[in-house]
Amino acid sequence: MAESTHPFHAETCKLLNILTHSLYTNHEIFLRELLSNASDALEKVRFLQSTGGELRDAGLPLEITISTDKEAHVLTVSDTGIGMSRQEMIDNLGTIAHSGSEQFLRAREAEKADAGTPQAEAVDGSDDGEGEKDDEPIVESDGRSNEDASQIIGRFGIGFYSVFMVAERVEVTSVPAQGDGTPHVWSSEGTGSYTLRSLEGAEAEGLKRGTSVKIFLREDAREYQEKYRLESVIRKHSNFLPFAIQLDGSRVNTTAALWREPKFSVTREQHNEFYKYLTYDQKEPLDVIHFSVDAPVQFNCLLYIPATPVDVFDERRDEWGPDLYVRRVLIEHQNKDLLPHWFAFMKGVVDTEDLPLNISRETLQENVVMRKISQTIVRQLLTHLERMAKNEPEKYGSVWKLHGKYLKFGFDSYQFRDRLLPLLRYYTTASEEKYSSLDDYVARMKPDQKEIWYVAASSIEAAKVNPHLGQFRRKGVEVLYLTDPVDEFSLESLMEYQKHPFKSVEQADAKALEAYPDAEGAEPRPEPLKEEEKPELDALIAKIKDILGDQVTEVRAAQKPIDAAACLVSPDGVSSSMEKLMRAMQKTDGIPRKILEINPDHALVRSLMALCAADPDDGTLKDMVLGLFDGTLLLDGYMNDPYAMAERSMRLLRQAAGWYAGLRK
C-alpha cells in the first residue's frame, strides 16, 4: 500500500473555496451532482456492454447505493459504474473542470462504426405561415431512449467539488472496470492538497467495480444522514435517473421517466398516474401532449392540460411553467422560459440533451437553444389545439372553459397571434349556451356586415341589460359577449379578424344598422316625439342638469337608439368596460363624470317630461331623476350612495303604493 500527497493545481486551489462556499446557493445540490456522476459512470458501463467491450465483474447490477452511518456521521454514495484508475483519479479529481465524459467519448469515437441515421418524420414545419421562420425544420423522433453515448451526462467536471459544502473530509474509493483493477483511495479535506493510495491484500478484498464516495459530514450538515432528507433530495432532483437508487436497502426512484418512452407505448393509465405524481392534482388530466424532437434541438416534451382550473394570476402568479431536465436531472422547477404566459395552465416536463448552463448547473444561460425549444413547443401545442378544435369541438370547449382566459393573453404575441385568433371562443347573442368561434360568427354575419360587434360586461346577465344592445337585438345582428376583463383589451389590440374590425356596440353609429330590416318578432317602435313636445324635453334636460350638477359633464337626448330610459356615455368615446379597466390599472376608484343621455321615446322619460312641465320644483321629480341616475350608474358598473339610494327608493315605493291603492278604491 503506497500513499502519496499531491497538491491541487494552482487554479483548482484558488477556485475551490469559491466553488464550495459561493457558487452553489443550495447545499442539497451536492447529492444531485454525486448521483449525476454515478449515473454517468453507469452509462459508460452500459455503453461498453452494448459495444462488446470487456468489463470486470460483468454480472454486477447497474445501480447506485446510498448508505448512512449516524454514529460516525458518514454518508456513502456508491455505484457499479466504470470506475477510475490511479491516473484517472488524478486527472478527474485533482484537476477542476476536467471532463471525464468528454475524454471517454473522444477515446471511443474511432470505435464507432458508421451507421445511417433513420429518416425521421417532420412535423409542424419550420414555417407555419405566421411568424418567424426557423433555420431548420422541426423533426420529431420516435421517442425511443437512445442507449448510446448521448446519455452520458457528466460534462461539467466541477460538480464533485460541491460535496465540500457539507463534508469535513471526503474519501473516494474506485475500482476501474478495465485494466489491472487495482483499487485506489483519493482523500482530501478540500483545502490545498489530496492524498492517493493503492489498496492491496485484505484491504482490496471484496471491492468490486465502481466508485464509492464516503462523506464525513460537517456538524451543520448532519441533516443529510437522515433518510427522509435524502429521499426528499433524490425525489426532487434525481428521481428519473435511469438506474436504481438504493437508500439503506430500499429503492427510492420508482417513477419512470415517461417522457423518454415512445409515446405510443405509454398507456393513459400511466399518464394519469404520472400527472398526479407531478402535480398533486387528484383529477386526471384532460389531455396529453407527448412528443420528441431531434432537430433543430433535441429534446423530449410531456405536457398535460389539467381538468381543473389553474389560477396563476394572483397569489400563485409564479407557480407555473414545466420542469426543465437535462438528461433526466432536474435543473429548474417551473421554468418560465419554455412557455409563454398564455400557456401558463400547462403542466409537465421538458428534457433536453444538451443545454448550456452556468458553471454550477443551477441556472440557465440566455441562449438561442432555449428560444428554439420554446418556439418548437408552442408550435406543437397550437397544432394540437387546432386539431382538437376541429375534430373534438366539445373537448376543446371544455379546455376553453377551463383555460381560455390564458389563451386570450396571446394577443401580445406577434409571432403566433394569427394562429390564436381562430382558437378564441365566446358566447354570443345568437349562442348563449354554446361557445362560438370567430369563424362561426363570420359565417352568420348579415349581408354586407363589416364589423364584428361585441358588448363587454362583468357577466352575460349584465351584458344583456346594456342599453346599447337593444338596436342590435331589434335588427337581429349577432353580438359577442365579452365577460373577462382582458377580452375587450385583447380584441382592441388584435383590431380585426378576416378584415372585419372589432367594434363595441357602445361605439355604433346611429345609422350603422338602419339598412337592416327589423328581426322577426321585434317589439314595435314607440311613437317618435312630436315637434310640440320638444320644448318639454329641453326643459326636462335642463332640470336634470340642475339636479345632478357636477355629477355629469352634460345631459342630452340620446344620439342613437337605446333600450333604457337613460345611459351614460364617455366624453372621449371609450367604452364603459375599457374605461373601468384603465381606471383599475391606474388604481382610481372614484365614479367618473360622464355624459347622461336620455331616451325621449321611453315611457319613463315621457312621464318625467309631464311632471317637469306641471311643477319643475316637485320633490318627487327630483327623487325620480336621482333614481334614474342611480340606475344608469348601476348599469355602468358603479354604485353612488347605496344608503341614500335605498331611502329614496323606499320613499318612491311608498308614494307609488299610495297612488295605486287610491286608484284601486
pLDDT at residue 128 in the model:
40
pLDDT digits (tens, 9 = 90+) for 126-179: 334 333 444 455 556 555 444 343 343 333 345 788 888 899 999 999 999 988
pLDDT digits (tens, 9 = 90+) for 28-41: 889 998 999 999 99
Domains of the chain: 3-99+154-251 (3.30.565.10), 121-145+264-423 (3.30.230.80), 425-525 (3.40.50.11260), 531-551+591-664 (1.20.120.790)
Q: Strands 3-7, 431-437: parallel, antiparallel or unpaired by DSSP? A: unpaired
Whether the model pTM is above 0.85? no
Comparing CA positions, the residue from 327, 180, 306 lying closest to residue 257 is 327
Angle between the N-to-C axes of helices 100-109 and 29-50, in degrees from 0 to 180, rounded to the nearest 10 = 10
Counting every residue, how long is the chain? 665
**Percentage of the chain surpassing pLDDT 90?**
35
Confidence of residue 444 (pLDDT cuts 50, 70, 90): very high
Residue 500 CA to residue 477 CA, distance in Å, equals 15
**Percentage of the chain surpassing pLDDT 70?**
81
Confidence of residue 205 (pLDDT cuts 50, 70, 90): confident
pLDDT at residue 290 in the model:
96
pLDDT at residue 233 in the model:
94
Q: Regarding predicted confidence, which is higher, 464 or 95?
A: 464
Q: Under a CB-based contact definition with an 8 Å cutoff, are residues 319 and 312 in contact?
A: yes
Helix (H/G/I), strand (E/B), else coil: 359: coil
Helix (H/G/I), strand (E/B), else coil: 287: strand
Q: Mean pLDDT lowest for which of 329-333, 533-537, 573-577, 647-651?
A: 573-577
Confidence of residue 305 (pLDDT cuts 50, 70, 90): very high
Confidence of residue 435 (pLDDT cuts 50, 70, 90): very high
Q: Could you count the other beta carbons within 10 Å of the beta carbon of residue 191?
A: 11
Residue 224 CA to residue 541 CA, distance in Å, equals 81
Average pLDDT of the chain? 82
Comparing CA positions, the residue from 575, 576, 540 lying closest to residue 555 is 540
How many DSSP H helices and E strands does the chain contain? 18, 25
Q: Strands 431-437, 452-456: parallel, antiparallel or unpaired by DSSP? A: unpaired
pLDDT at residue 360 in the model:
44
Element holding 474 (H helix, E strand): helix 470-475
Q: Under a CB-based contact definition with an 8 Å cutoff, are residues 489 and 439 in contact?
A: no
pLDDT at residue 156 in the model:
37
pLDDT at residue 498 in the model:
92
Comparing CA positions, the residue from 355, 411, 346, 412 lying closest to residue 380 is 346
- Amino acid letter for position 337: D
Q: Under a CB-based contact definition with an 8 Å cutoff, are residues 260 and 328 in contact?
A: yes
Listed in order, strand segments (DSSP E) in 56-116 are 63-69, 74-79
pLDDT digits (tens, 9 = 90+) for 318-369: 789 999 998 888 888 899 989 999 999 999 999 987 676 543 444 455 577 8
pLDDT at residue 583 in the model:
57
Residue 8 has phi, psi (to 5 degrees) of -65, 155
Comparing CA positions, the residue from 148, 150, 147, 124 lying closest to residue 137 is 124
333 DSSP assignment: T
Confidence of residue 99 (pLDDT cuts 50, 70, 90): very low
Residue 55 has phi, psi (to 5 degrees) of -135, 145
Residue 345 CA to residue 407 CA, distance in Å, equals 9
pLDDT at residue 529 in the model:
75
DSSP alpha helices (H): ranges in 51-97? 86-93
pLDDT at residue 93 in the model:
83
Q: Regarding predicted confidence, which is higher, 642 or 545?
A: 545
Confidence of residue 618 (pLDDT cuts 50, 70, 90): confident
Comparing CA positions, the residue from 549, 628, 552 lying closest to residue 594 is 552
Produce one character per residue of 313-340: b if its CB has 16 or more CB atoms within 10 Å, e if not. Answer: eeeeeeebbbbbbbbbbbbbeebeebbb
Give the strands of the sheet with 250-251, arranged side by side.
3-7, 193-198, 184-188, 167-175, 210-217, 74-79, 63-69, 244-247, 250-251
Distance from chain centroid for Cα 608: 55
Residue 436 CA to residue 440 CA, distance in Å, equals 6
pLDDT at residue 433 in the model:
85
Residue 79 has pLDDT above 80, yes or no: yes
Q: Under a CB-based contact definition with an 8 Å cutoff, are residues 41 and 81 in contact?
A: yes
Residue 94 has pLDDT above 50, yes or no: yes
Mean pLDDT to the nearest integer, 89-106: 62
- Spatial neighbors of 433 by CB under 8 A, at least 6 apart, are 427
Helix-strand-coil split of the chain, %, nearest 5: 40, 20, 40
- Amino acid letter for position 154: G
Mean pLDDT to the nearest integer, 498-513: 85
Q: Regarding predicted confidence, which is higher, 109 or 643?
A: 643
Residue 159 CA to residue 96 CA, distance in Å, equals 9
Comparing CA positions, the residue from 222, 184, 220, 188 lying closest to residue 203 is 184
Q: What is the phi-psi region of residue 349: left when phi exceeds 0, alpha when psi lies from -120 to 50, beta otherwise?
A: beta
Cell of 328: 433526466
Which neighbouring-strand residues pair with 569?
595
Residue 522 has pLDDT above 80, yes or no: no
Q: Mean pLDDT lowest for which of 330-339, 412-421, 523-532, 533-542?
A: 523-532
Residue 404 has pLDDT above 80, yes or no: yes
Q: Under a CB-based contact definition with an 8 Å cutoff, are residues 173 and 212 in contact?
A: yes
Cell of 657: 303604493
Q: Under a CB-based contact definition with an 8 Å cutoff, are residues 467 and 636 in contact?
A: no
Mean pLDDT to the nearest integer, 461-488: 87
Residue 24 has pLDDT above 90, yes or no: no
Q: Mean pLDDT lowest for which of 225-234, 356-365, 430-439?
A: 356-365
Confidence of residue 221 (pLDDT cuts 50, 70, 90): very high
- Amino acid letter for position 552: V
Distances (CA, A) of 143 to 239, 254, 299, 361, 626: 20, 21, 9, 25, 70
Cell of 357: 448552463
Mean pLDDT to the nearest integer, 389-412: 92
Listed in order, strand segments (DSSP E) in 505-620 are 552-557, 566-569, 594-598
Comparing CA positions, the residue from 629, 631, 621 lying closest to residue 651 is 621
Q: Could you count the other beta carbons within 10 Å of the beta carbon of residue 343?
A: 24
Helix (H/G/I), strand (E/B), else coil: 13: helix
Residue 238 CA to residue 329 CA, distance in Å, equals 5
